[in-house]
Amino acid sequence: MNQTSLKTRMLEAFRKRMYVFFISVSSIFAILVLQLINLQLVQGKEYSLKAQMNMENNIPIPAARGEIYDRDFQRGVSGTVLVSNRPSFNLTMVPKNFESEAAMIEVLERLRPLIGFDLQNTLADIKKGNPWERYLLKDDVSFDVIVKIASHKNIYPNIHWEDAPIRVYNYSDVMAHVIGYTGSLNKEEYNVLKDQGYKYYQTIGKIGIEKQYDAHLRGEDGFIRRIVDVRNRVEGEEIGKSPTGGNNIVLTIDYEVQAAAHDALEGSSGAVMVLKASTGEIIAMVSRPGYDPNEIISKENSGIIRELNSNPSKPFLNRTIQSRYPPASTFKIVTSIAALETEKTYPEKTYYCPGKYTLKGYVDTDFYCFKTHGTLDLYWALGKSCSVYFYNLGMAVGPTMIMKYASYMGLDELTKVDIPGEIAGFIPSQRWKLKTFGQPWFDGDTINMSIGQGFLAVTPIALANMMCGIVNNGIVYKTHLVKEIYTPDNRTVLQSSKKEKLREVPLSPVTLNTIKQGMRYSVQGGTSGWLSRLKVPAAGKTGTAQTRSNRKENFSQHAWFLGFAPYSDQPSENTIVVCVFIEFGQWGASAAAPVAERVFAKLIEQGYFREYSQQGNLNVQQIK
Amino acid sequence: MFGRDIFGKMDIILIGAVFVAVAFGIMMIYSAGFDPVEQINKGLYKKQIIWFIIGIIFMTMMSIFNYRQLGDYSLYIYGFVIFIVLITTVFGRPIRGTSAWLSFGFFSIQPSEFMKLAVVIVLAKYLELRERDIKNFRELLIPTMFVLVPVLIILKQPDFGTAAIFIPVLFTMLFMGGADVSHLVSIILIAIIALVFPMMYTYWEWAGYKGSSIIVQMFVHLDVLFTISGVLLFIAVSTFIMHFFFNQSFLRKIYIPATVISLGLMMSVVIHKWFKEYQKKRILVFLNPDLDPHGSGYNIIQSKVAIGSGGFFGKGFLQGTQTQLGFLPEKTSDFIFPVIAEELGFAGAIIAIALLGVIIYRGMEIALGTRDKFGALLATGITAILFFHILINIGMVIGIMPVTGLPLCFFSYGGSNLFMVMISVGILNNISMNRSLY
């Protein structure tokens, strides 16, 4: 009896504890279900997004960069294509897609005769990277090779390819400094540009037009939506967004003139600027030595930039806008303007040139002319480039006014050309000299400055633009390289550049006429005689700059030429200004003027002075 | 015994739920084993069907004899399985770093799965025999030893998950066997104090916790800690002795907590000193996978993404991106539940949980339904094994339990686990069929 009751009591205790166990189990099941509700129903959307991110691996489709044409472009009918793109492919792979390293090496071995690469280096390179990430096996692979790989996917498993159009610079170094080149974004550029939608893998214009107009040229990348598994193997793909090509750009450059100027500078370091005075359009902008942008963008040539940078002749330097030199006798124009405008002289005023000028002082100093000119007026002083005349003139005007007019003429200002890198020229001042050398301004400095020597330094583009100002009766336009911007299909003009006034210098008609006439004399019977053979009346001024260079002997002088055609006493729509600079060219008359002559000849051939020919002075048809 | 009788008395609810669950599992193993790249199935589901058929034979065999014989032979069964597990641990060739597998050429088994059953059988028998004395603290020692021996062997393999499941099963059985609740709570508290304090210290140090905290200070000044635990121990011992002279219950209220705190603190120092820094970090990562998002945390993140992205109705059978594209690890075995939740959504997951709930509930009912103590405890133990598997596995994949490699009973691929589960169901069925005998 007792036995049974004990057993009953124990069973009762067991029953009670089972209830506790049952409640615990039920609560735990409830917690599991609650968390399930939380994950699937409450946070379901978030996790769906994460699942999508897991399996989607978007591959960018690079947009074709806009093409660049020269000024004669007429919607694909004529004109020269300066920069285009050619199709190319990148071969890529994800190392972890292969079952084993041996399998990967086997495939690479089979691929090697097709594209050619160093297996050991490639393997070492692969080991360095993340094996789950896309590895660029080879860039610039031809379409034929891709076809072979695509039709034998079983032989080349896990090898992928992507579109990667390559920029083609059709005229290599002729256009190099104007157009520039592209390259991968570096870290600094990325940090600045990422807010504007640039991606780290994109290319960007590094210099020149490519940089300045990158926003137009780059277009918009598309992407392929790829479904991948955990090993990054592709399960399926579709086009997520098609790429939009970049806008096409028409330059103001005339390729024929550019090439002629480029050829004319063959073998020397120097620069040629050809400007249309009435608009500020740049017809040619040549700097030599140059480089081939195609070599720079080629990935096989990684050392080329360093190599070019260490080249003592500085091929990267755009000498038209990025370097400044003493203007030498071309500056006599400024001295004349200063003297005439301040009414310190008049055109018919004569000085006698005995071959030298003696500056009286504690010790007399002689300043020489390159020859004995005898008695000259201002026209012929400009024409024959007589230094003694300008020593006298400079002394008569005084340094302050020369500096002031040099500045009025914009020699120490930017021409605001639409490519990056332009520097301004330099005009000294008394205060500057005191600060830099601890010396006051001497009369000797004035004499040097009046013929463009000494501390003065100008860029060829600024000098050319000053000439435009004189031709335009004092109005100076902003220089520019881009004429029009078209949509990718070349059907619609998005933007077309208008002339933009940079400044206006009020110069008297007497001043303008005197300068133009003097420069005309220079061609007719002075230092610019080379140009007298042209079928268009030209005017010019040569310059020969002595330098403080270490390279002495014969080549210690830079050669300048600054001129325009056709000569006219009134501003004309068609006036073209040419500025030639040759480093260590020795004499302006013999080195720079012939270059200018070839450029003008090409301009005539291209029909730039057709209006003049209609007046009967020139028959363009005959010349062509 | 045979014939109409056995099928007539069969526990239809239990066995019905089990069959549906295993079939459901095989379907999901089919989905998880499908390789969308090569358009073939690795065929694990076929193997699981074979294991299931063999399992049904085991289940039937376990249903048709007097289950009390298991109790009679419990020590032999226990000793035999311990021996096999020991041999496996010593001679087994490691698979993924664990020597838990005994290979027979064309197939291998995991003896530690059967260790769970052997332990439950021996505990049920022992607790039946000691029914009246179990309130005595000393009586807890032998059951603990029965569990500790296989746990230590399995830890040596090392198989943390399998070893871990013995502890809650032991406590459940002791509780259901009538042990004093205060004893059980004391043991649990000592373990918690001993573990939590050094872990918090390591965690704060790891997470770069600055400033003074009592716990940090305690481990800096170990002498203070020892003094505190010494004083507490002295109080505990003296009140315990006084307890013999003045049998007053308030003394019990002093010496039990004093002993618990004192022993806990002392053991916390031991753990703090003995365990290497990386070992403690490993335990921390085990407790909180988010601390190591690239290691074990990765699996849990992917698992949660799979479950969460399933939504209410799921992405469809064979359509789960996490499953089919391989982001989900171990998807046929430990992570089968996320496959269900991703492809069949909340609806499918709830059906799976409901099936498991029915089985567990039926196990408890069977334990209550028999007047035979051994049968009741055996049914409780088996139910506990199944339940803690479910808790640890689902808790892990939904991110509220530590990461342990335990399969989800009935659903996960794996012969040994399925055999163990089917044998368990057979025993439950046996107890259910024979409940009227006692």
Task: Tell me whether residue A79 is in a domain.
Answer: yes
Tokens of A329: 């006798």
Report residue A256 CA to chain centroid gap: 19
Q: Distance between CA atoms of B40 and A110, rounded to whole angstroms?
A: 28
Nearest by CB: B310 against A7, A35, A40:
A40
Task: Tell me whether residue A340 is in a domain.
Answer: no
Tokens of B272: 């703090």
Q: Distance between CA atoms of B111 and B420, rounded to whole angstroms?
A: 10
Task: Tell me whether residue A511 is in a domain.
Answer: no
Closest CA to A170 of A69, A303, A72, A28: A69
Nearest by CB: B326 against A13, A44, A231:
A231
Question: Which residues have C-beta within 8 Å of that of residue B202, sequence separation ≥ 6?
Answer: B277, B280, B281, B284
**A23 and A86, same domain (yes or no):** no
**A30 and A63, same domain (yes or no):** no
Q: Does B133 reach chain A within 8 Å, measured CB to CB? A: no
Q: Distance between CA atoms of B334 and A80, rounded to whole angstroms?
A: 68
pLDDT value of position B239: 84
Q: In Å, how far is A56's CA from the nearest CA of chain B?
A: 10
> For residues A571 and B389, which has the higher predicted lDDT (pLDDT)?
B389
The 10 Å CB-count burial string (b at 16+, else e) for A143-182 is: eebbeebeeeeeebbbbbbbbbbbbbbebebbbbbbbbbb
pLDDT (tens digit per residue) in B186-241 = 889 988 888 887 777 777 777 666 555 666 666 667 777 788 888 888 888 888 88
Nearest by CB: B321 against A20, A22, A51:
A51
Nearest by CB: B368 against A18, A35, A48:
A18
> For residues B29 and A370, which has the higher predicted lDDT (pLDDT)?
B29
Backbone angles phi, psi at A50, to 5 degrees: -65, -40
Task: Tell me whether residue A525 is in a domain.
Answer: no
Residue A535, classed as helix, strand or coil, is coil
Q: Distance between CA atoms of A411 and A424, rounded to whole angstroms?
A: 7
**A38 and A96, same domain (yes or no):** no
Q: Distance between CA atoms of A3 and A195, rounded to whole angstroms?
A: 87
Q: What is the mean pLDDT of residues B320-336?
A: 88
Task: Tell me whether residue A224 is in a domain.
Answer: yes
Q: What DSSP line would sit under B219-253, residue for residue? A: HH-HHHHHHHHHHHHHHHHHHHHHHHHS--HHHHH
Contact B309 A48 (CB under 8 A): yes
CATH number, position A233: 3.90.1310.10
- Domain edge (last residue) among A251, A270, A298: A251
pLDDT value of position B38: 59
**A91 and A20, same domain (yes or no):** no
Q: Distance between CA atoms of A618 and A610, rounded to whole angstroms?
A: 8
Q: In Å, how far is A9's CA from the nearest CA of chain B?
A: 11
Residue A499 contacts residue A605 (beta carbons within 8 Å): no
Tokens of B58: 């085991």
pLDDT (tens digit per residue) in A21-50 = 999 999 999 999 999 999 999 999 999 998
Task: Tell me whether residue A75 is in a domain.
Answer: yes
**A101 and A227, same domain (yes or no):** yes
**A122 and A239, same domain (yes or no):** yes
Task: Tell me whether residue A2 is in a domain.
Answer: no
Q: Distance between CA atoms of A462 and B413, rounded to whole angstroms?
A: 83
3-state secondary structure A333-387: HHHHHHHHHCCCCCCCCCEEECCEEEECCCCCEEEECCCCCEEECHHHHHHHCCH
pLDDT value of position A619: 41
Tokens of A40: 């699937």
Residue window 28-57, chain B: list those with CB within 8 Å of chain A: 36-37
Q: Which residue has the tokens 């048809």?
A: A621
Q: What is the mean pLDDT of chain B?
A: 87
Domain around A78: 56-173+219-251
Closest CA to A225 of A435, A39, A467, A57: A57
**A60 and A167, same domain (yes or no):** yes
**A32 and A64, same domain (yes or no):** no
pLDDT value of position A197: 77
pLDDT value of position B211: 56
Q: Which residue has the tokens 């965690």?
A: B203
What are the residue ranges in chain A where pLDDT is below 50? 1, 549-552, 554, 616-624
Which of chain A's residues have a Cβ under 8 Å away from the Cβ of B36?
229, 235
**A117 and A23, same domain (yes or no):** no
Interface-testing mutation among B133, B304, B325, with chain A (most A C-beta atoms within 10 A): B325
Report residue A529 CA to chain centroid gap: 34
Which of chain A's residues have a Cβ under 8 Å away from the Cβ of B322?
51, 54
Altogether, the residues listed in chain A come to a count of 624
Residue B109 contacts residue B423 (beta carbons within 8 Å): no
> For residues B47 and B5, which has the higher predicted lDDT (pLDDT)?
B47
Which of chain B's residues have a Cβ under 8 Å away from the Cβ of A229?
36-37, 324-327
- Give the residue on B whose Cα is nearest the Cα of A35: B398
Residue B197 contacts residue B218 (beta carbons within 8 Å): yes
Contact A31 B400 (CB under 8 A): yes
Contact A235 B37 (CB under 8 A): yes
- The answer, yes or no, to whether residue B41 has pLDDT greater than 70, is yes
- Domain edge (last residue) among A210, A231, A251: A251
The 10 Å CB-count burial string (b at 16+, else e) for A193-215 is: beeeebeeebbbbbbbbbbbbbe
Task: Tell me whether residue A17 is in a domain.
Answer: yes
Contact A36 B341 (CB under 8 A): yes
**A135 and A162, same domain (yes or no):** yes
Closest CA to B240 of B224, B262, B259: B259
Residue window 51-80, chain A: list those with CB within 8 Å of chain B: 51-52, 54-55
**A38 and A82, same domain (yes or no):** no
- Return the percentage of chain B with pLDDT > 90, whole number: 48
Residue B306 contacts residue B314 (beta carbons within 8 Å): no
Q: Does A47 reach chain B within 8 Å, measured CB to CB? A: yes
pLDDT value of position A176: 92
pLDDT value of position A622: 36
Q: In Å, how far is B361's CA from the nearest CA of chain A?
A: 8
pLDDT value of position A550: 45
Which of chain A's residues have a Cβ under 8 Å away from the Cβ of B345?
40
Q: What is the mean pLDDT of residues B265-289?
A: 75
Q: Are strands A248-251 and A68-69 parallel, antiparallel or unpaired?
A: parallel
> For residues B243 and A549, which has the higher predicted lDDT (pLDDT)?
B243
Tally of domains in chain A: 2
Which of chain B's residues have a Cβ under 8 Å away from the Cβ of A7?
371
**A160 and A62, same domain (yes or no):** yes
